[in-house]
Structure 1
Amino acid sequence: MDRISGLPKAILHDILGMLPDKDAAKTCVLSKLWKETWFSFPVLSVCSKNFFTRRDLLSSPEDPIWLAKLDVFTEYVTKRLMRLRDQGIVIKELKLNLGYLLDYTHVSHHVDQWIQMASESGVQVLELRLTGGGMGSWYNLPICLAEAKSLNKLVLSGGIRLDPAFLNHSLKFSSMRILSLSHILFGDEGVMEHFISHCPLIEHLTLHFCNVDNPLSNEDPPGSRDYRVKSLSLHGLQKLKGASLQYIKEVYIGAPNLENLIYRANLDGDESFVLNLDSCTNLKCLSLLYLTNPDKWLRELLYKIPFLESLTLYRCILSERIDISGPQLKFFELSNCDDNVEEVNIDAPNLLSCTYMGDDKPIVSFERISDQLEVNAYIYMDQQHFYGLSEFVQNIKPRKVLTSLSLFINEGRIITESLPILQVSSRPPSIKHVQLRVVTDKEAHYLPLMSWLLSSCFPESISFSLQPYLKMKPFIVISMRC
């Protein structure tokens, strides 16, 4: 006896919501009841790759087979939305991934209609993901979206253009909590701030790789001579907790409750950037990517954000000596930065984890440390780095810091000879664990390193992490101490 089918429709909808999209759609063939449940399900998630193939990407937009598939696709989405609207059902989520439609000429009016119906049906989550955005292929977001006052999450990605006409509308985004804009073209630089300023309750903001139309290129197709967003001011956002901002040179944030910030300028050779966080006194997590000399900026900033717990510097150009301090700092990561860094001095008495990824060059020292502090070093090993590893490990001060090492070896960084045991002047820090991440099936490439580790670094344990495609048996973790 089918007891599940007898459950209230709201519970059946919850069951569908827990299934992958394809499996949820298959339930409509189980029975008439499940078919009705599917067509009243207030979540519509459609991906064009389920209707088109990679070969279709190469088809001509006028190809009759491609057009027939397009008709099936658009009719399916339209009917689902019309059923929900006609039944007076509030649409909880509308997710459209149209990545397999490189030409939006034949579908843009359908997308306009779908957004219109969703807005009229009280849509709460709207995600529209496109590709392209090349010469004249941008999809212009319809103005009807400005009336979607029920929206609490909006995600727009790739090949979408926001027309300056949005500046003339009072956007009704009073319920918006999450706003994510990636690879978007703004018809005017003011459109972006206009959008954000009408989201007073926004909690999470993402702006990645957004461009602005060049006002001097009106005769060219939109986006043919665009430029990066240069400046962004975020003020009066009392609820903002998290932001990820990339490819914006100047950022001014007035959000007293901001806790998590990821910032990347990517200035194409320009060494200057502006990141004003004076009022962000509750910031807890800060990640800086691809910046030049952020360490100098940090020296002036860190005392203004006393609650900072996590700091990440990724692929930044830094000074030869960097000083990091923070009374509440618990996690610090220095990852893939330039090889100019020779000395890293850290004064963070509550630091629990320090992660370093790069070569074996810098001296890392701690002025005040927690008894629980661990240093996790990820180093790409080759013949040259092998000889510097011992010195790198010994230069981690003080000696009582627990250190874990992950050493990467691949075909391009092989160790080709038996290496002598390195004589060290003093015992290195307490090595808690060593992991070899091997991308080679030749034992001669990593056995010399393993032999040296067992003789020189005194690790408590050592293990291998092997690539599964090499069909190598996993190496059992060996405890080196009782």
Structure 2
Amino acid sequence: MEEKSDIVDATDDDRISKLPEPILHHILSFLHAKDAARMSTLSKVWDSAWNSLPYLNFGDKLFSKSKDIPRLLRAVDQALANRKKHKISIQKFSLWLPHYHELCYVSSWINMLIACNVKELKLRVNRPVYEGVLDYNSLTEAIFDAKTLNVLSLDGFNIEMPSDDGMIKFTSLRELHLSDVFLDEQFLQALCTSSCNLEDFSLQDFDGLASFQVAETSLPKLKRVNLKNCPSVFQLVDIASINIEDLKISTIDGNLKVVKITACKALKTLHLNEVAVTDKWLEDLFSSLPNLEILGLLGCEALKMMKITSDELKQLTVFYCSNLISVELDTPNLMKFHYSYDALSTFRLKASVLLEATLYLDPQTNYFEWQSKLTKFLANFNHSKFIKLLCDCDKVIVIPKYLRENLLPPLYGTNILQVCLGNLSNYSVVDIIDSILWISPHLDTLSFTGALRMTMKFIYKDEDASDEDEKPCCASLPWKCWRHTLKKVELQNFALMEQQDLGNYFFANADISEMVEIPGECSL
């Protein structure tokens, strides 16, 4: 923070400086402390507002970019000492120290923050390295006396029980976020006993714990738990909290085999990443958790036969569960589905007609076998109004014409299709669009992202209008394809040569009246 220039009184035209101090505090709360301190040079009003500011955000770059660390340390020290002297309550304090050498300051700052009745504390100190091994920073025991804390975030510390009475006095704590820390079951047990108002608990990149257990009688207000990057030794999650609504668990290597959450009757959202979920565990889950609405399964290698029956499930994500051989979903109210498909032998889906599906198509077999299975898979979504297909290459979605002769178009009821292509091979834009319009023969909107970035909108003839010259190839099917009903095509972001090729394609295959290019800034 810089030296102050001469401070002047607010002028008559300076209406902002005449605002009440709480409003000036609110304005300054959006600034880093360094910038808020600079504002104090504008006038005596702003100087007073800075010196009484209860929000001190020193950010994550101030110390890492400074060439004068001692000056910054003194500035933080002075800011806290001033607030302690004038008995100013601190609502929020945030700081990242890239150098663990200044840890002696941290203990002093925590003592002053507690004296200032700090409500929210976010503190990160980079871990030291001893003989090539990362260690953890010591945390002053004074932190456990912070009775006024509502939100606490710690990063880089060894969190040990207080040595005097072994008591944690987080009676007001609502949120606790621990990252890159060392802690043990004893601390967790003490936390569960003392923090009766805790609602949100996140634990990331931690050591020391082999299990995470919350009894039914502890943490009665707990609503959200996030266990991220659990270590290899972590073997058990057992949560019996009846009010928990959101649970996220991810591991480093998929070793976590035991997750007991059947007592969490209020659970609405569950995300499991690289957890050893078994077929039986998943099937029983929904009978135990009647309110589960959102489920995410990522990298759950133990899962082979997924069977879900639920009237409450609204969102489902299944990605990279590579050993799946069968999926059966009886989920009539499912609205959003994210799935990575690699030619399953069995897939059955019952979902809402308003389903929005995002499908990552990942062929794990030869393209001939893949393409025939793909059309059968996509047919499960034939009534979905919006579908997004993610493909590493255009080969994944270009169905050869000889295969189309013996297959039905799978997405005949889809109105909006978005295709994200990672790479292009030797197929032309016309080849890609021709295949997609066979897959989904009555689209309203087709858009591309990734390697292609373009959009098409299709306008059709009046359904009541008769067409005596209608071609007979779709007569036996339950829909009219674009070839017989297309009236107009609107293009956006296509190159001139692509427009010409598509013009030749559409005028040769449909009785359209016009094809127009819409400027890129317009929305189709």
- In the superposition, the TM-score normalised over structure 2's length comes to 0.75
**Which residue matches 1:344?**
327
1:193 aligns with 2:189: yes
What amino acid maps onto 2:153 in structure 1? V
Going from structure 1 to structure 2, the CA distance change for 1:440 and 1:319 (only over 3 Å counts) comes to: closer
CA RMSD of aligned residues (A): 3.0
**Which residue matches 1:36?**
48
What amino acid maps onto 1:50 in structure 2? L
**Which residue matches 1:11?**
23
Paired residues of 1:202 and 1:239 also in contact (CA < 8 A) = yes
Distance 2:276 2:367 in 1: 26
Paired residues of 1:363 and 1:392 also in contact (CA < 8 A) = no
1:365 aligns with 2:353: no
Q: Which moved more, 1:326-335 or 1:159-168?
A: 159-168
Distance 1:109 1:139 in 2: 11
Gap runs ≥5 in structure 1: 57-65, 213-228
* Residue-pair matches, total: 436
- Does the residue aligned with 1:47 lie in a helix, a strand or coil? coil
1:230 Cα offset (Å): 0.9
Going from structure 1 to structure 2, the CA distance change for 1:197 and 1:210 (only over 3 Å counts) comes to: farther
Distance 2:398 2:181 in 1: 54
Paired residues of 1:433 and 1:459 also in contact (CA < 8 A) = no
Paired residues of 2:59 and 2:95 also in contact (CA < 8 A) = yes
1:206-226 deviation per Cα after TM superposition (whole angstroms, max 9, x unaligned): 1122112xxxxxxxxxxxxxx
1:172 Cα offset (Å): 1.2
Paired residues of 1:359 and 1:385 also in contact (CA < 8 A) = no
**Which residue matches 1:109?**
104
1:64-105 deviation per Cα after TM superposition (whole angstroms, max 9, x unaligned): xx6xx120120111111111111111000111112x32xx12
1:231 aligns with 2:249: no
Q: Which moved more, 1:422-431 or 1:79-88?
A: 422-431
Distance 2:426 2:335 in 1: 36
1:18 Cα offset (Å): 3.5
- Does the residue aligned with 1:97 lie in a helix, a strand or coil? strand
What amino acid maps onto 2:432 in structure 1? L
Matches within 5 A, 1:241-260: 241-246=223-228, 247=230, 248-260=234-246
**Which residue matches 2:179?**
182
Residue number among 16, 22, 45 corresponding to 2:57 in the alignment? 45
1:235-270 deviation per Cα after TM superposition (whole angstroms, max 9, x unaligned): 22211111112314211112111111112244x464
1:425-468 deviation per Cα after TM superposition (whole angstroms, max 9, x unaligned): 2231333333232455888576643332123332612112247x
Distance 1:238 1:11 in 2: 36
Residue number among 434, 437, 443 corresponding to 2:420 in the alignment? 437
Going from structure 1 to structure 2, the CA distance change for 1:417 and 1:41 (only over 3 Å counts) comes to: closer
Distance 1:116 1:12 in 2: 27
Q: Which moved more, 1:161-170 or 1:314-323?
A: 161-170
Runs of 4+ deviating beyond 6 Å: 416-419
1:282 Cα offset (Å): 1.1
Matches within 5 A, 1:71-86: 71-86=70-85
Matches within 5 A, 1:251-330: 251-266=237-252, 268=253, 270=255, 273-330=257-314
Paired residues of 2:342 and 2:364 also in contact (CA < 8 A) = no
1:288 Cα offset (Å): 1.1
Distance 1:433 1:362 in 2: 27
Residue number among 312, 329, 336 corresponding to 1:353 in the alignment? 336
**Which residue matches 2:116?**
121
**Which residue matches 1:392?**
374
**Which residue matches 1:171?**
168
1:389 Cα offset (Å): 4.7
Paired residues of 1:380 and 1:407 also in contact (CA < 8 A) = no
Percent identical pairs in the alignment equals 27
Gap runs ≥5 in structure 2: 1-12, 462-524
Distance 2:288 2:399 in 1: 49
1:372 Cα offset (Å): 2.3
- Does the residue aligned with 1:463 lie in a helix, a strand or coil? strand
1:43-82 deviation per Cα after TM superposition (whole angstroms, max 9, x unaligned): 11113522433xx8xxxxxxxxx6xx12012011111111
Distance 1:360 1:17 in 2: 53
Bigger CA radius of gyration? 2
1:180 Cα offset (Å): 0.9
1:182-236 deviation per Cα after TM superposition (whole angstroms, max 9, x unaligned): 11012x4312332343210111111122112xxxxxxxxxxxxxxxx21121122
Going from structure 1 to structure 2, the CA distance change for 1:324 and 1:74 (only over 3 Å counts) comes to: same
Going from structure 1 to structure 2, the CA distance change for 1:36 and 1:442 (only over 3 Å counts) comes to: farther
RCO higher in structure (CA 8 A, sep ≥6): 1
- Does the residue aligned with 1:455 lie in a helix, a strand or coil? helix
